[in-house]
Structure 1
Amino acid sequence: MTRTSVFSNNGTQAVRLPKDAAFPDGTKSVEVIAVGTTRVISPTDQTWENFFEGYTVSGDFMSDQ
């Protein structure tokens, strides 16, 4: 996990991302998901739906349940 700072500018908040947490080159827009006080920031072309589509489980996953 990487820590960084939040600052205000012209009435909005911004987050300074360190190099090791930077978005890929060419990222022009992001999606922010707010859950309580937690924020998840993802490139708009890589939303949570795309994240979960890429992962599957084996056919015997939880077969003992």
Structure 2
Amino acid sequence: MRTVSIFTNGNNQAVRIPKDMEFSNLKELEIFRAGDSLILRPTRPDWLSFAELERADDDFLLERADVISDEGRFEWL
């Protein structure tokens, strides 16, 4: 187990995450307390981040193979 030092940054406590433990390509983490531990994990995508995704082409679903056949799904009386 590794240890890191805690320091003050303005009105906050902070730690430096070692390079070999970095969260690559992330801008935000969730933090929560579990007993006497603090847990950091990547944030989960939300609806606001969905709006930032690249839009699909206009013809995205024009030609699409049936995933499930309609055959036998409907029984007409």
- TM-score, normalised relative to structure 2: 0.50
Q: Which amino acid aligns with 2:3?
A: R
CA RMSD for the aligned pairs? Answer: 1.7
State the distance in 1 between where 2:37 and 2:15 align: 13
Distance in 2, Cα, partners of 1:14 & 1:4: 10
Structure with the bigger percentage of strand: 1
What's the CA shift for 1:14? 1.1
Residue equivalent to 1:62: none
Partner of 1:31: 30
Q: Structure 1-normalised TM-score?
A: 0.58
Match of 1:3?
Answer: 3
Residue pairs, 1:48-59, within 5 angstroms: none
Q: Secondary structure at the match of 1:27?
A: coil
For residues 29 and 19 of structure 2, what CA distance do their matches in structure 1 show? 17
Identity %: 38
Query: Which ranges of structure 2 fall in alignment gaps of 5 or more residues?
Result: 46-77
The answer to which structure, 1 or 2, has the higher relative contact order (CA under 8 A, 6+ apart) is 1
Aligned residues: 45
What amino acid is aligned across from residue 22 of structure 2 in structure 1?
A
For structure 1, the residue ranges without an aligned partner over 5 or more in a row are 47-65
Query: Are 1:2 and 1:21, in contact at CA under 8 Å, matched by a contact in 2?
Result: no
Q: Which has the higher helix share?
A: 1
Hey, what does 1:42 align to over in structure 2? 41
